[in-house]
């Protein structure tokens, strides 16, 4: 009579013997995940590709550029949804998302600075505010709140406005979307509004002839135009197409209050992050016994 065979252990389990001779099961090492191929990060890479494509078309093709740039911004909401749905929220993904947002907005503002040199200092200030606010906020969160705390976790006691902005997905989406849409409206106005772009004004002489003669910066010779499509003359010629400015003005007008609110949040975020870091510095100095009391040296004669 044959004895029944002992069932073999599951493939993923292995027997290990400790020093006392007793055995226990050790699970096999699970397959290492590739963070860089998570779905939210793949969406982030596609945002970068679309952003570069929009920059390529930015000088001469406002409609194509605006479409690509808008799709890149809208995907910002999709990667957050994918992270929650697939349970693939990572620190790398959060940093990738923030850096992509900051860089794309900065590139658009750089173009606006070149389109309207008179307002360049304003656009440069917005770039500096956006970068400084988010960098100091993230640094303060990591150094004061701990390595595992997200920059979107803002205590209500510290700022209820920032808490609402980061925790309410609707508020966050509306503020970010309309803020970018305002700058897109300004970008389109640089191709359509003679009030903002004086080169769009077709000045004529008394006999009706245009002053925009070949050889001038606004109307370069055809040969130089086609040899160098990214020259200043090509940009002026593209603007001379005179897009209808009605829709860009409506976009800019509707989105302006939200843009102003978003920039005020950047200022608030910068101030509170600096205060938070200062509080940490005070605690660290107190723990180190600083400032040390210096004994005054009596002058002996």
Active site residues: 101
How far apart, in whole angstroms, are the C-alpha atoms of residue 235 and residue 105?
21
CB 239 within 8 A of CB 156: no
> In DSSP terms, which residues pair with 216 in a beta bridge?
219
Token pair listed for 205: 């002489």
Q: Which two tokens stand for residue 34?
A: 């590739």
Residue 14 phi, psi dihedral angles, 5° rounding: -130, 145
C-alpha 266/C-alpha 269 separation (Å) is 5
State how beta strands 23-27 and 13-17 pair. Answer: antiparallel
Give 3's contacts (C-beta < 8 A, 6+ positions apart): none
């Amino acid at each position: 009579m044959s004895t029944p065979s002992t069932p073999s252990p599951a493939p993923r389990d292995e027997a290990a013997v400790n020093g006392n001779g007793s055995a226990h099961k050790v699970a096999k090492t699970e397959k290492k995940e590739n963070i860089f191929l998570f779905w939210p990060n793949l969406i982030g890479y596609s945002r970068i590709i679309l952003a570069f494509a929009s920059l390529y078309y930015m000088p001469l093709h406002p409609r194509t550029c605006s479409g690509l740039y808008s799709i890149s911004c809208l995907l910002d909401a999709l990667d957050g949804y994918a992270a929650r749905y697939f349970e693939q929220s990572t620190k790398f993904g959060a940093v990738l998302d923030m850096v992509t947002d900051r860089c794309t907005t900065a590139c658009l503002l750089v173009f606006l600075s070149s389109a309207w040199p008179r307002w360049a200092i304003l656009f440069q200030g917005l770039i500096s505010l956006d970068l400084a606010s988010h960098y100091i906020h993230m640094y303060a969160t990591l150094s004061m709140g701990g390595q595992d705390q997200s920059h979107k976790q803002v205590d209500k006691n510290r700022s209820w406005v920032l808490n609402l902005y980061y925790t309410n997905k609707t508020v966050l989406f509306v503020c970010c979307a309309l803020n970018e849409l305002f700058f897109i409206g300004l970008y389109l106005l640089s191709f359509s509004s003679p009030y903002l772009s004086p080169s769009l004004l077709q000045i004529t002489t008394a006999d009706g002839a245009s002053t925009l003669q070949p050889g001038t910066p606004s109307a370069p010779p055809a040969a130089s135009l086609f040899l160098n499509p990214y020259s200043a003359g090509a940009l002026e010629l593209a603007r001379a197409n005179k897009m209808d400015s009605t829709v860009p003005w409506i976009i800019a007008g509707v989105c302006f209050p939200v843009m102003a609110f978003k920039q005020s949040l950047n200022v608030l975020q910068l101030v509170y992050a600096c205060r938070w870091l200062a509080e940490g510095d005070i605690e660290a100095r107190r723990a180190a016994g600083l400032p040390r009391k210096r004994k005054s040296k009596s002058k002996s004669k």
